[in-house]
Structure 1
Amino acid sequence: MKALFVLLSCIAPQVLCEYGMVHVISDKSEGSAKDYCILFNSEWAHLPHDLTKAALLHLQDQTMSVLCSPTDVPDGGFSNSIPMVMRGNCTFYEKVRLAQINGARGLLIVSRERLVPPGGNRSQYEEIDIPVALLSYTDMLDISKTFGRSVKVAMYAPNEPVVDYNMVIIFIMAVGTVATGGYWAGSRDVKKSYMKHKRDDGADKKHDDETVDVTPVMICVFVVMCCSMLVLLFNFYDRLVYIIIGIFCLAASIGLYSCLSPFVRIIPYGKCRVPENNLPYFHNRPPIWKLLLASFCIAVSVIWGVFRNEDQWAWILQDILGIAFCLYMLKAIRLPTFKSCTLLLLVLFVYDVFFVFITPFFTKSGESIMVEVAAGPSDSSTQEKVYCNF
């Protein structure tokens, strides 16, 4: 069996797959620039590792064409430019050969589907000496929206670092969130047991109201809701994505309030209460600091909701809100028995396996429902992302 595997590995064609970047700048605005991820095969042509050594060339938008025949070539060809065409109808070799014959210095192929490395055979690699790379359809739309049609591009492949510091930061954030949430929930349980020991029924009741013990029925209902929402998002993504964003804003503001309230409570200001009134909730005369904190948390969530597509800083706010929501859930949701933990783990395992690996056999596109919803459909008119995945 092992020998057969080795034999098949030798016979099967291997296609090099490397990630690179395409640097896009506007002809009209000197300061406007952005990098997009591309997938390329270095056997066609190598890309420089340094952006300063990459040629900055005019991008010729030919996305109305697939560049499979000479009739797809515009008058004047692609002299000293990089055409951008759609994927389909012919091989990568036919596209890049037509581009090279007509003077192109490179080729960007836009794919609506999952990016695959542009492969060929040995003789084709020797014939072609210009780089060819795949760009996602979403990025193509963003280039058109951000820069218009008059742009210049430079393709390069930066060296990958030995240690991915981004993963180190993500690991610290994830483990830190779980550790902090677990410690917070445990300290609350210790305090709750202490208050019960002192027979302080009022304090005990207060802590009971702030935690929820998960039961098998609740687990089943939760998984059914997740499945239903995932299927609905897959079929009605553009209509429901804004509802999911609104739910995330609401949940994140509640989580942020829960995380900040212990710290704000010790500040010796804002202890006065709301005057006597008959308004809902306010008739209990909550302290001023609670109203100010709630207003602040709602404002933070609204700011993120409005500016969520800002690449420079919105992701920082999104991470803060996501961590706050996770901490709140770890503090409030309790799995009191090993039976509940086992059942939750089992149903979520089946849920993940089904929606990631089984659903491609049932969908018309052959794509996983989970992947499509998490990444956002390539043909989505809104191009929004689901920020709290089910």
Structure 2
Amino acid sequence: MVKLIVHVGGNATTGDDDAQILALTASFGAGLPKTKPEALSFSLAQMQPLLACSDPSPPLPSFHGQAVLVQRGECSFASKALRVQQLGAAAAIVINNEEGILGMGCNATDLAAGDVTIPVIMLSNSSGQFLLQALANSSSSSPSSPSSPSSPSSPSSPVTISLYAPPRSLLDLAELVLWALALLSLVGASAWAAAEEKAALELKAGSGQSGAEQPQGEASGAFDMSVGSAVGFVVMSSVMLLLLFFLMSPVVFYIILALFCFAALESLHVCLSSLLYRIFPLQSSLGASLPCLGFVSWLSLASFLFSLALTVSWAIFRNHPDAWVAQDILGIALMITVLQAVRLPNIKVSTALLSLAFFYDIFWVFISPLFFNGKSVMIEVATGERTGGEGIPMLLKVPHIMDPWGGYSVLGFGDVVLPGLLIVFTRRYDCITKKMGMDGYYMPAILGYAAGLLLTFAGLFLMNGNGQPALLYLVPCTLGVIVVLAWRRGELSALWNRGEESSEPRVSEDEEEPLVGPGPARTSLTEGRRKDVLHKGSAL
């Protein structure tokens, strides 16, 4: 990759108003320096004819020491580069005839490639049009165009560029921050689940019912997923992904944004309220009765106002360079809440869900381009190709710290929540069976997730930044580890069929069944769940 810095004004010193363009070098020709101080600087010119597949009409122009723009098409890249090189050019810049940039190569019969000794780079069509327009604007103010073939020698162009090719860092610190955020989400959700399970065990201690026999989900009224609901989840996720791929527009994006904000607001309020009640238990009874809302504790009100302020601020300033902090806070709260509202009852359901999600992720990232004109459905929806580059908000994101190319490292909520359901299950199981550390299943599961996520980032680097299906690495490192470990311990049968005395998901009587859709933004907590978490029945 190449950074091309454009400066209009006749010198190569870069300022705040300079434009930066991403480009790609050819497999032939000269290389470029790796640092900005060593960048090669050229004045810019335009070949006539722009395709550069034939010699210009006499008198021939002289592009001595200039970088010359040419258009892709009709003849080989090497032929274009050699032609402008013979006219004195110091670099050839090929404008692609479509958006995006591609690698320029040559075959064994292209003899011109061996004679090219200047740097050759490619720009996207929009970047090329920007440079052509800059040249046209500069030419209109001078009596002679620097790229005009009517004069034997073109004067120095007032448009100058600098070229250098900084290497990508082997591992950006952003990936490590993202890794830590994902683990923090899972550890927090697991700790919350363990606390609820311990409280439920204490309540059951005098009833004569053993911990191992305790019904799943009874402690907090969580929805226990079944094999059928796991299949339905993956099918609905595929349908929703296709709908977003075909129907995504600014209007649809804002609908998704509104749903995300509503779910994130509720989730952050629940998480903060629960945390405040645990830290300040004596203040939980302090509050006031409000019209239409009833009694509202001050702790709940404070957490709601903070959650509302953060959510609204993020929605308004979501494109600010630092908005990722608020987005990640909202996302972590949303994922933790989902992991409390939806649970896996046993390894059989876990295997059904994660196995289907494994193939779902691979298909929509790697295989879907075969059916959708070379476009990866998952990547196109996630990156916001049809909404002006503004991707869907259901992901964690951290800006690159060491990468000179900038950008973000991202991780979808599903890559945390789906393996997280299994990890939370193992934490609850270890709590009930009083297993500790590596003797249980939670620690191997969380360590497996950590290793799988590192493998995902390694795959991302080895594939030159192309999107990776994270579940390709995470499912074997979590579900695979747990199944093998349970089999070796002789406990696979117990884990596989655990909690199957009733085939229907258990939901406590004072609740309605929560709606579970194909994504975290479509999971809502029930009123009974809020009462359980917020104690005094806060209407907020």
TM-score, normalised to structure 2's length? 0.54
Corresponding letter in the other structure for 2:32: L
- Output the CA distance in 2 between the equivalents of 1:27 and 1:381: 34
| Paired position in structure 2 for 1:234 | 245
State the Cα RMSD in Å: 4.1
Question: Equivalent residue of 1:193, what SS?
Answer: helix
> Residue 11 of structure 1 corresponds to which residue in structure 2?
none
Contact persistence 1:66–1:89 (CA under 8 A): no
Of 263, 271, 276, the match for 1:251: 263
- Partner residue of 2:316? 306
Q: Tell me the SS of whatever aligns to 2:296.
A: coil
Alpha-carbon spacing, 1:217–1:163, altered in 2? closer, same or farther (3 Å): closer
> Higher mean Cα deviation, 49-58 or 78-87?
78-87
Question: Given that residues 44 and 128 in structure 1 are in contact (C-alpha distance below 8 angstroms), is that contact kept between their aligned partners in structure 2?
Answer: yes
Q: Distance in 2 between matches of 1:385 and 1:231?
A: 15
Instruction: Give deviations 1:311-357, integer Å, cap 9, x for gaps.
Output: x3122332333233222223332111111101101221232233234
Q: Is the 8 A contact 2:91 2:120 kept in 1?
A: no
Equivalent-residue separation in structure 2 for 1:189 and 1:138 (angstroms)? 57
CA gap of 1:69–1:143, structure 2 versus 1, over 3 A, is: closer
CA contact (8 A) 1:271 1:289 kept: no
The aligned counterpart of 1:194 is: 202
Match of 1:119 among 68, 87, 105: 105
Q: What is the aligned-residue identity percentage?
A: 29
CA contact (8 A) 2:248 2:387 kept: no
Alignment match of 1:323 (pick from 311, 327, 332): 332
Q: Does 1:386 align with 2:392?
A: yes
C-alpha distance in structure 1 between counterparts of 2:113 and 2:313, whole Å: 51
Corresponding residue for residue 15 of structure 1: none
- The 1-side partners of 2:187 and 2:131 are apart by 41
Partners of 1:331 and 1:85 in 2: how far apart?
58
CA separation of 1:341/1:42 partners in 2, compared to 1, >3 Å: closer, same or farther?
A: same
In 1, Cα distance between equivalents of 2:244 and 2:275: 38
Moved more, 328-337 or 82-91: 82-91
Change (3 A) 1:205 1:171: closer
Counterpart position of 1:8: none
Residues 148-189 of structure 1: per-residue CA shift (max 9 Å, x gap): x88764322224445543333333333333233223322322
Distance (Å, rounded) in 2 between the aligned partners of 1:67 and 1:306: 45
Residue identity matched to 1:302:
V
- The Cα of 1:294 is off from its aligned counterpart by 1.8
Q: TM-score, normalised by structure 1?
A: 0.72
The answer on 1:275 being equivalent to 2:289 is yes
Sort the Cα spacing of 1:141 and 1:372 in 2 relative to 1 into closer, same or farther, 3 A: farther
- Cα shift at 1:45: 2.0
Confirm or deny: 8 A CA contact 2:27 2:105 kept in the other structure: no
1:356–1:263: structure 2 CA closer, same or farther, 3 Å change rule? Answer: closer
Q: Is 1:131 the equivalent of 2:85?
A: no
**Matched residue type, 1:294:** F
- For 1:356, which of 365, 389, 399 is the aligned residue? 365
2:225–2:343 contact (8 Å) kept in structure 1: yes
SS at match of 1:53: coil
Give the greater-gyration-radius structure (CA). Answer: 2
Compared with structure 1, are the counterparts of its residues 335 and 31 closer, same or farther at alpha carbon in structure 2 (3 Å cutoff)? same
Structure 2: stretches of 5+ with no match in the other structure: 139-158, 208-215, 395-411, 413-518, 520-540
Match of 1:168 in 2: 176
Q: Secondary structure at the match of 1:242?
A: helix
CA distance in 1, matches of 2:266, 2:186: 18
Query: Aligned partners of 2:51 and 2:322: how far apart in 1?
Result: 39
Structure-2 separation of matches of 1:324 and 1:21: 38
Q: For residue 22 of structure 1, what is the aligned residue in structure 2?
A: 4
179-188 vs 28-37, greater mean Cα deviation: 28-37
Corresponding residue SS for 2:289: coil
1:221 aligns with one of 228, 232, 238: 232
CA contact (8 A) 1:66 1:72 kept: no
Distance 2:343 2:44 in 1: 56
CA contact (8 A) 1:244 1:386 kept: yes
The one-letter amino acid of 2:324's match is W
